[in-house]
Structure 1
Amino acid sequence: MFTKVELQKGVNLYIRKTDQFKTITMSIKWLAELDEKQAAYRAVLSNVLQDSNADYPKQSDLRKALDELYGTVFFMDAGKRGNSHIVSLNMECVNDEYLSTSGVFDEALKMVHSVIFNPNLKDGSFDSTIVNREKRTVIERIRSIYDDKGRYAHKRMLELMRPNDPASMSASGTEADVESITNATLLDTYKSMLDEDEIDIYVVGDIQEDELIEKIKSMFGFATRAVTKKQYEQPDKEVKEARQVFERQDMKQGKLQVGYSTPVSFFHPDYPKMQVTNGVLGGFAHSKLFMNVREKESMAYTVNSAYAAYYGILYVMAGIDAELEEKAVKLIGEQIDEMQNGNISDLELDQTVALLTNSIRSAFDSARGQIEVYDQYKQLDEDFTADKWIANWEAVSIEDVKQMASQIHLELVYLLSGREA
């Protein structure tokens, strides 16, 4: 799917030559081990680098230059995956072949180079005005989770299930960590990211591969770095009895989060089987949770399940009336019991595989989608293609789903509501 070129040890270029798009899309990803304090620094740093640089010292200068390049898109963000923190730089411009002028991609590359290697420094330090503004932006992002009761309930569930663990750490760090950032610590973070992080560069579009490789080599001279990949390891603990935690806030609808642990994680050979199992349970509108908890019993306003594969966590989210918590948890548990007993229809299985297939194929409708899917699955297979993974899903049987369901263990029932449960 992508052609891999090792530029330096720890720095790889992935090229997908395709005439599917009239644009050229580029994404550069810096990967480091997830640490909550460093996550805060890196989240603010990505905002600061996106704001301006030495060649475009004002945000308006950079935006104007992008507009002049036929609306070239540029943004940076920070996220996490497993026990890795990822800072991404993303750029998309029109392919020169579709313009009467040329050189748009080259100019866009120069801008990306400026963002990375020529930050907006004053007297050898980041501009305090910009740093303070972006610290406020990240703090507002962290605080926004408290206004979204569903996201807050999910955050609390993860904190209770996996305290002080990558599973419950925020990709933006904590407010306290953001507040502690100084110009000096941010500069140290910048230098560390450029010199020590594992770097993956992606380019998708109708481009000449050899020419592109030479351009990237000449413009982005990242140094060799030592890369020691370390997979996330689930906490070794035995859950004898599920915990129940009830919390109250000023709100009307109750937010129920039921957390389950499973030994089947992203790197486990049964990962595709568990993806299908989650789909049958609550991943789609035909699933058992939706049909039986919401439609048949009218027990929940909303209900679905999700599978955090990197952490071996499967969870059910439901919006309910607080007084129905016990009945809802019982009914949710019954759906898993049904699956453990093999009570799964061919239709449920076929519809799940069809919708999983549709989801991955629709992701391939955009260059950015192709990059994000491949960036995840290349950890399992650098020759990954959508068709190969779809074949894994199609090979899953009802017996496989039954076996996967038997490895789902209730760990936590969490309810956030406005009244006593």
Structure 2
Amino acid sequence: MFQQFELAHGVKLYVRPTEQFKTINISFKWKQPITVKDASIRAVLSNILQYSNEVYPSNADFRKRLDDLYGTALYFDTTKKGNNHIFSLNAETVNDAYLSNEKVVDEVFSLLATVIFKPLLVNGKFVDSIVKREKEQVIERIQSMYDDKTRYAQQRLLENIRPDHPASISSNGTVAEVKVITNDQLIEMHEKLLHEDELSIYIVGDINVEEIKEKMKNYFPFSNRTEKLPTEVVNKQGKNDTNYLHEIQDMKQGKLHIAYHTPITFYSEEYPIMQMTNGILGGFAHSKIFMNVREKESMAYYASSNYSSLYGLIFVLAGIDSNLQEKAVQLIDEQILAMQKGDISDLEINQTKSMLKNQLKEALDSARAQIDIYDQYKELNEDFKVEEWVEKWSNVTKEQIQQMASKIEKEFVYFLSGKDGANNE
């Protein structure tokens, strides 16, 4: 899917020449183990680098330059993947092949080099007013979670089942950690990006591979860094005196979030089987949870499950009336029990295989998704091919799905509701 090259030790370039897109997509992904403190620093740093640099000190100057480059999109982002925090720089620009006598790609590479290597500094430090402003922006972003009750409920569930664990650490860090970030810490983190973090660079478009390799070497003189082997997340359960928590806020619709653990993770041989199992349980509109909890019983405004494979966790999410919490939990448990007993139809299996296949192929219509999918699956096999993964799903049997369902164990129920549900324990 991608051709791989090493630019420096610990710095890999992945190139996919394709005529599928008229634009060129570029993505830098810096990776390091996630901690609350470092996630907070990196979230603020991404904002600082996003809006100013040595050549274009103001956001207005920077945006004008991007507009001049035929509306090139350029943005930083922070996410997490398993044990790791991912600090990304992404760009999408027009291909020179569709322009007359212009070299926009070279200009974009030069701009990317500027934002990476030449941040706006005064006496070796970031501008204090910019640091203050971007810290406030990140704090607002973190606090916005409290307005999104579904996100809030999921975070509270994670904090209860995996406290002080990568699963419950936000890629933006915490308000408390952001507030105490210093200019020196930001400078130090920027140096780590340049010299220590493992770095994967992806380029997708109608490009000449050899020319791209030369451009990368010329514009981005990254130094060697220590490359670490991918590590599987230890799925260690938190210590809870109870497996249930009900919290109350001023709201109408109740948020039911249930966590199940399983020994099967992204790195397990049975991973494709668990993908199928989750699909039948609650991954799609034909799944058991959707059909029986939402459609048949009309008990939920929404109801689904998702498989967090890097942590070996399955989450069931449902929006329900507060007085239906107990009945909803029971009905959801019944769907898992049915699968464990082998109540799995050929139609459910075939529909799930088809949905997983279509979901993956539709994602590949986007260059950005191609990068994200390969960035994940390359840790299993750098020769990852979509067709081979589709075949893995095609070979999954009813008996295998039943066995997988038997490995799913309920761990914790979190319920967030208004005062009307306060007595529904």
Instruction: Note the alpha carbon deviations across 1:16-74, whole angstroms, 9 max, x for none.
Output: 00011111110001000111100000011011111111011111111111111111110
* 2:407 matched residue in structure 1: 407
Give the letter for the 2:83 counterpart.
N
Is contact 1:18-1:204 (8 Å) kept? yes
* 2:197 matched residue in structure 1: 197
CA–CA distance in structure 1, aligned partners of residues 323 and 79 of structure 2: 36
CA apart distance, 1:239: 9.3
Question: When the two structures are superposed, what TM-score results if normalisation uses the length of structure 1?
Answer: 0.98
Is contact 1:239-1:411 (8 Å) kept? no
Q: Residues 128-277 of structure 1 correspond to what in structure 2 (within 5 A)?
A: 128-236=128-236, 243-277=243-277
CA–CA distance in structure 1, aligned partners of residues 366 and 210 of structure 2: 24
* 1:68 matched residue in structure 2: 68
* 2:340 matched residue in structure 1: 340
Instruction: Note the alpha carbon deviations across 1:101-120, whole angstroms, 9 max, x for none.
Output: 32100000000000000001
* 2:359 matched residue in structure 1: 359
CA–CA distance in structure 2, aligned partners of residues 370 and 236 of structure 1: 32
CA–CA distance in structure 2, aligned partners of residues 62 and 347 of structure 1: 54
CA–CA distance in structure 2, aligned partners of residues 136 and 386 of structure 1: 42
CA–CA distance in structure 2, aligned partners of residues 43 and 390 of structure 1: 36
Is contact 1:353-1:393 (8 Å) kept? yes
Q: Secondary structure at the match of 1:310?
A: coil
Give the letter for the 2:183 counterpart.
N
Q: Which runs of 5+ in 2 are unaligned?
A: none
CA–CA distance in structure 2, aligned partners of residues 309 and 239 of structure 1: 21
Task: Tell whether 2:70 aligns with 1:83.
Answer: no
CA–CA distance in structure 2, aligned partners of residues 382 and 131 of structure 1: 39
The alpha-carbon distance between structure 1 residues 2 and 35, as it changes in their structure 2 partners (threshold 3 A), is same
Give the letter for the 1:174 counterpart.
T
Q: Secondary structure at the match of 2:177?
A: helix
Is contact 1:234-1:312 (8 Å) kept? no
CA apart distance, 1:236: 4.3
* 1:303 matched residue in structure 2: 303
Give the letter for the 2:165 counterpart.
D
CA–CA distance in structure 1, aligned partners of residues 223 and 354 of structure 2: 44
Give the letter for the 2:364 counterpart.
F
CA apart distance, 1:366: 1.2
Q: Secondary structure at the match of 1:70?
A: coil
Q: Secondary structure at the match of 2:388?
A: helix
CA apart distance, 1:232: 3.6
Is contact 2:284-2:304 (8 Å) kept? yes
CA–CA distance in structure 2, aligned partners of residues 230 and 370 of structure 1: 20
Q: Residues 369-408 of structure 1 correspond to what in structure 2 (within 5 A)?
A: 369-408=369-408
CA apart distance, 1:230: 4.8
CA apart distance, 1:358: 1.0
CA–CA distance in structure 1, aligned partners of residues 118 and 203 of structure 2: 22
The alpha-carbon distance between structure 1 residues 124 and 93, as it changes in their structure 2 partners (threshold 3 A), is same
Query: Which stretch of the first structure deviates more once superposed, 172-181 or 234-243?
Result: 234-243
The alpha-carbon distance between structure 1 residues 239 and 352, as it changes in their structure 2 partners (threshold 3 A), is farther
* 2:16 matched residue in structure 1: 16
Task: Tell whether 2:13 aligns with 1:47.
Answer: no
Question: When the two structures are superposed, what TM-score results if normalisation uses the length of structure 2?
Answer: 0.97
Q: Secondary structure at the match of 1:373?
A: helix
CA–CA distance in structure 2, aligned partners of residues 227 and 386 of structure 1: 27
Instruction: Note the alpha carbon deviations across 1:284-313, whole angstroms, 9 max, x for none.
Output: 111000110111111111100011110111
CA–CA distance in structure 1, aligned partners of residues 34 and 40 of structure 2: 10
CA–CA distance in structure 1, aligned partners of residues 254 and 24 of structure 2: 45
CA apart distance, 1:268: 0.7
The alpha-carbon distance between structure 1 residues 242 and 394, as it changes in their structure 2 partners (threshold 3 A), is farther
CA–CA distance in structure 2, aligned partners of residues 214 and 242 of structure 1: 59
CA–CA distance in structure 2, aligned partners of residues 231 and 141 of structure 1: 29
Work out the number of aligned pairs and report it.
Answer: 421
CA–CA distance in structure 2, aligned partners of residues 239 and 350 of structure 1: 39
The alpha-carbon distance between structure 1 residues 239 and 144, as it changes in their structure 2 partners (threshold 3 A), is closer
Is contact 1:82-1:166 (8 Å) kept? yes
Is contact 2:42-2:87 (8 Å) kept? yes
Is contact 2:230-2:379 (8 Å) kept? no
Give the letter for the 2:68 counterpart.
E
Q: Secondary structure at the match of 2:300?
A: coil
CA–CA distance in structure 2, aligned partners of residues 19 and 148 of structure 1: 40
CA–CA distance in structure 2, aligned partners of residues 346 and 240 of structure 1: 39
Give the letter for the 1:182 counterpart.
T
CA–CA distance in structure 1, aligned partners of residues 141 and 274 of structure 2: 32
Q: Which runs of 5+ in 1 are unaligned?
A: none
* 1:37 matched residue in structure 2: 37
Q: Secondary structure at the match of 2:407?
A: coil
The alpha-carbon distance between structure 1 residues 123 and 391, as it changes in their structure 2 partners (threshold 3 A), is same
Report percent identity of matched pairs. Answer: 52
Instruction: Note the alpha carbon deviations across 1:320-360, whole angstroms, 9 max, x for none.
Output: 11111111000000000010011111111111111111111
Is contact 1:242-1:411 (8 Å) kept? no
Give the letter for the 1:112 counterpart.
L
CA apart distance, 1:240: 11
Instruction: Note the alpha carbon deviations across 1:163-193, whole angstroms, 9 max, x for none.
Output: 1100000000000110111111110111112
* 1:114 matched residue in structure 2: 114
Instruction: Note the alpha carbon deviations across 1:222-264, whole angstroms, 9 max, x for none.
Output: 1101122352432445999971111111111110001100000
CA–CA distance in structure 1, aligned partners of residues 137 and 316 of structure 2: 31
